[in-house]
Amino acid sequence: MQEFIAVSEITKEIKNSAELLKSLDINALITGQRGVGKKSLAKYITQDSNIYSAKELQNDITDNVISISNCTVIIENIEEITNIDLFINWVENNAVKVIATSNKDDLNEKLADLFSITIDIPPLDTRKEDIKPLANKFAKEAGDILGVKEKPAKLIVNTTENAYSLRKSIYFSYLFESIGENEIMMLLENYILANMEGDNAYRDFVYLFEAPLLRSAQKKYKSQVQMAKNLGLNRITLRKKLEMHKELI
């Protein structure tokens, strides 16, 4: 069964709504930012349904190469449907139940009217109780795939793009646990080699070293006085570097 983690109060309510939708013959729209769990919720509602991207499905309907009826489908990015009349006629003529996802909450009015219920999943940062179980889920996944038995001493947790960035940060945690200076330098070398061009390569890439160093120093030493002392910089130079990299720190 598809898992939809619901620990916070809001996701518990969402999961209860999803349970009701399993037995109701109505179309439902799931909205929210990238990575909040729209696809997971859709699959939780209807386990065995086929998943279509809106653009590809519209092309298949236009070309008359899709033949399904009396079933439920999951449609991702429903806002990308452009021939709305064609799509709605196809849904109604074939008795298709639609569970759709969208990053937008302002669909075309005619398309929005197709859905009897809309479930909005809020960003992960607003439902912090869900972060730890999601991180543990991704940690188990990463450990199994990478063949690592022990969990890293500290997991990197990045929720800027919800579960999408959280999964990436957990995988990075496992990778960083097993690599040393040589591997880090090799990764930087390969990245710089692939992107080096122009006449100011040193200036263009020095941020890859300086920005994380300054960020780490801020976390460890707090004040600029202590940062300058422990980094071996005078305070004027430190302030210049902080200003130079302010968008990354």
Complete domains list, the chain, with CATH: 9-122 (3.40.50.300), 125-178 (no CATH), 185-249 (1.10.10)
Structure tokens at 89: 């006629």
pLDDT tens-digit map of 155-183: 889 999 999 999 999 998 888 777 778 88
- pLDDT tens-digit profile of 78-124? 999 999 999 999 999 999 999 999 998 789 999 999 999 999 999 99
Q: Decide: 201 and 235 in contact? Cβ < 8 Å.
A: no
Residue 219, H or E segment: helix 207-221
Residue 9 has pLDDT above 80, yes or no: yes
- The three-state secondary structure class of 195 is helix
Mean pLDDT of the 187-205 span: 86
214 to 30, 162, 182, 207, 243: CA distances (angstroms) = 41, 25, 21, 10, 11
Percent of the chain with pLDDT over 90: 73
Spatial distance between the Cα atoms of 210 and 107, rounded to a whole number of angstroms: 44
Q: Torsion angle, CA of 60/66/71/74, rounded to 10 degrees?
A: -30
In three-state secondary structure terms, 3 is: coil
What is the pLDDT at residue 199?
79
Q: How would residue 37 be classed by pLDDT, with cut points 50, 70 and 90?
A: very high
pLDDT of amino acid 1? 58
Residue 15 CA to residue 133 CA, distance in Å, equals: 16
Side by side, the strands of the sheet bearing 72-76 are 50-53, 72-76, 97-102, 28-31, 117-120
Burial level of 194, CB count in 10 A (0-12/13-18/19+)?
exposed
